[in-house]
Amino acid sequence: MRNILKGLVLFAAIVLGSTALAAPQLGRDYTLLNPAQPTATKKIEVLEFFFYECGHCFHLHPYLAQWEKTMPADVAITFVPTMFRVSTEPLARTYFALESMGKIKQMDDALYQAIHVKQMGLYDLDSIGAFVSRNGVDRKKFAANYQSYTVDRKVIHAKQMLRSYAIDGTPTLIVDGKYKITGLQPADTIRVLNEVIEMARKARPAENKAKDKH
C-alpha cells in the first residue's frame, strides 16, 4: 500500500511538473489579434497597456520591472497608459510628461505606491504637480510638458492604439503585434510572456521567407 501511495505521489508530481513546463495554450494563456498590428521596432515588440489606478497593474508592476532589467537583447518594451474614461487621462498625461523629461523610471514606483498604498488622490495637474514636486521633479517643467503639444499627440495616439489593439482590460501585454496576454496572475504573466516571445522569435524566419516570395 505504501509503495502504491508513493507511486501516486510521484505520478502527480510528474503530471504537475509537465503542466508547469507545458507550452502556453492559445485561448487560455494568450489569444491572437485579428488583424495583427504593425510594430514600431525591428525587435520583438512588447507593449504593456496599463493605468496607474489599476490594482492588477500595481501587482504586475514589480514583476515586469524586474523582467525588463534582464529581457533579451532582441526585445523592446513600450508602456502605453490607457484611458477608458475621462478621469484617467490626467495620469496618462503624467506618464507621457515624465517620460519626455526622462523621469519616468524615477517616478513609476512612487506613483503606484501613492495611489495603492498611501491612497492619495492624484486626479488633476495641481494634485499631481504637487506630488511629483515633492519627489524631486521640477513642477514648472512638469506642468509645461503635461500641457504640451507633444503630450497631446501621445494621448491621441494612445487612445487610437486602445481601439486598434482591442484593449478592454488592464494589464494587457501585446507581443510582436499579434499575441495578446491578459487575465493571468503576475508570475504566470511573466512565464507566458517569455514563452510567447520565444514563439514570436521562431515564427520570424518563416514570416520573412514568406515575404521574400512576394
Q: What is the CATH number of domain 24-205?
A: 3.40.30.10
DSSP state of 80: E
Domain ranges of the chain: 24-205
Q: Give the Cα separation of 154 and 6 in Å (integer).
A: 60
Residue ranges of E strands in the chain: 31-32, 44-50, 75-81, 172-175, 179-182
Which residues does residue 79 pair with via DSSP β-bridges, in sequence order? 48
pLDDT value of residue 205 = 72
Note whether 198 and 23 are within 8 A (CB). Answer: no
Phi then psi for residue 85, to 5 deg, are: -145, 160
Q: Give the Cα separation of 106 and 143 in Å (integer).
A: 17
Q: What is the pTM of this model?
A: 0.85
Mean pLDDT, consecutive 10-residue stretches, the chain (214 aa), reads 45 41 85 95 97 97 97 97 95 98 96 97 97 98 98 98 96 98 97 97 71 47
The dihedral formed by the CA atoms of 185, 186, 189 and 193, expressed in degrees to the nearest 10: -170
